[in-house]
Structure 1
Amino acid sequence: MTDLPPLDQAEVRRRQRSRALVTALILGGLVVLFYAISIAKML
């Protein structure tokens, strides 16, 4: 990684954390959706 000022590094970390949270929420939503579809097909 390039030598960024500490403020820029903090901003990069904040963006990475935000992106990871969004990705986790989308993945969790897909898991719930697939589970619900599977249960609906069994009924």
Structure 2
Amino acid sequence: MNMVKRLGILTGGGDCSGLNPTIRGAVYRAKDYNYEVYGIQE
């Protein structure tokens, strides 16, 4: 049985420097490990 691996990224507050590259890096790394990645927008 394969377990589905999911990652959701939610940030709170305002903008901060380096946030976009950090999210991009997390998504790329998660994809390397076959995670489903979801962005959560409120």
Normalising by structure 1, report the TM-score: 0.41
| Larger proportion of helix | 1
Q: Which has the higher contact order (CA 8 A, sep 6+)?
A: 2
Higher Rg of the two aligned structures: 1
User: Taking structure 2 as the reference length, what is the TM-score of the superposition?
Assistant: 0.42
